Amino acid sequence: MAYIQVPEGIPGIRSLVMFRPETGKPLYELAQVLLRGDSTLSEAERELMAAYVSSRNDTMFCMMSHAAASRALFGNDKKIVDDVLKDIQHADISDKMKALLNIAGKVQILGKEVKPEDVESARNEGATYKEIHDTVLIAAAFSMFNRYVDGLASFTPTDEKEYEAMGKRMAEKGYVPPINKE
Amino acid sequence: MPYIPLEEHLPGITGLLEYDKIAAKPIRELTQILLRGDSTLTEGERELIATVVSNGNQCRFCTAAHTAAADILLGENETSKNVKENIVTSPVSNKMKALLTIASMVRESGKAVTKEAIDKAKTEGASDIEIHDTVLIAALFCLYNRYVDGLSTVTPANPNFYKGLAERLRDHGYNRLSHGYDHLKTDKSTVA
């Protein structure tokens, strides 16, 4: 049971946004800009960062849904998602992505944990300043989303099929706030 | 030295919000609603939530900025100092103590928020929307603190900088100034 009176049976952040649509609008806009806006990082890669940070925060709802979105976007290469969530170093991703995910993992702990050598490694692997910026902001944003979803104890479905459908919708439609039927 | 090229006259979060104006738009809008929008919590109380979270995350820029904003809105500087040291003994209402305790739990992790802490806030008269906004403000500052420190932005040492910033936050809130921030280029207090 969520800690506040949100609509019943609606999962995760959707229930919170239906409780308070005014704050929901910029929250969904932020997700859309960060995960679907112009970027030299692919949508699949950015969803993977979101899933990775959520996994480190142990936020099941965000981890499952963004991993599903990333799998849907990676298509035939969807195995990458589970490999990264298991062990970045042995996953079949570029050294640049490894360096960026390392930064995202540091941000998840605390901003101060990102050291000059972490940024230098990413730069050496060809990451641009904008890609480093976007990585830090995506990781910071999911440090927010995860706390919002778990801090109010919102409903977390356990059926994997439900996340698969959710991920497909996120891959196809992006981030559109739910509409209140009241 | 910041990890990415930012304008020198815009330290801390201010340079980041100008670096990526597209992402800054929803972040500013969310902050304006939460910290300045209609609420049964005062603007000063909401700045205290931002202060406690930023302090717990050891983000010096955000802590100094929101301490200054809280002080200017509350008209004194004892409360902000006290809540950072000890929420329980600080001179705020029992409801605020319960909400600040929830904010500190959110800062640690969403999972750290206990049903007991929520029940306590409700017993002290907190509404569902106050609890919601407390959790979201605390979560939002977990974003800000990581954004500011994760890119190693500059933290000015001059207290006048934060005084000027707090006045801007009091007068204009969190919306982007319509004429931008070039007028700050001559302001010496931003120099660390």
Mean of all residue pLDDT scores within chain A: 96
Chain centroid, CA B128 distance in Å: 21
pLDDT digits (tens, 9 = 90+) for B87-99: 999 999 999 999 9
- Quick one: B164 exposed, middle or buried, by C-beta within 10 A (0-12, 13-18, 19+)? middle
**How much is the ipTM here?**
0.97
Q: Are B5 and A129 in contact (CB under 8 A)?
A: yes
pLDDT digits (tens, 9 = 90+) for A109-124: 999 999 999 999 999 9
Pick the CATH number of B12-173 from 3.30.2130.10, 3.40.47.10, 1.20.1290.10, 3.40.50.720: 1.20.1290.10
Say if residue A15's pLDDT is above 60.
Answer: yes
Can you tell me the distance from the alpha carbon of B85 to that of A156, in angstroms, rounded to the nearest whole number? Answer: 35
Residues of A in contact with B19 (CB under 8 A): 133
- Give the pLDDT of residue B189: 63
Query: CB distance B57–A111 less than 8 Å?
Result: yes
Residues of B in contact with A151 (CB under 8 A): 102, 105-106, 110, 113, 135, 138-139
- Quick one: A162 exposed, middle or buried, by C-beta within 10 A (0-12, 13-18, 19+)? middle
Token pair 């205290």 is found at B48
Query: CB distance B58–A110 less than 8 Å?
Result: yes
Say if residue A59's pLDDT is above 50.
Answer: yes
Sign of CA dihedral B41, B42, B43, B44: negative
**Structural domain boundaries of chain B?**
12-173
Domains belonging to chain A, first-starting first, are: 16-173 (1.20.1290.10)
- Give the pLDDT of residue A80: 97
Residues of A in contact with B131 (CB under 8 A): 3-4, 152
Task: Give how far A76 is from chain B: nearest CA, Å.
Answer: 31
Type of residue at B35:
L
Mean of all residue pLDDT scores within chain B: 96
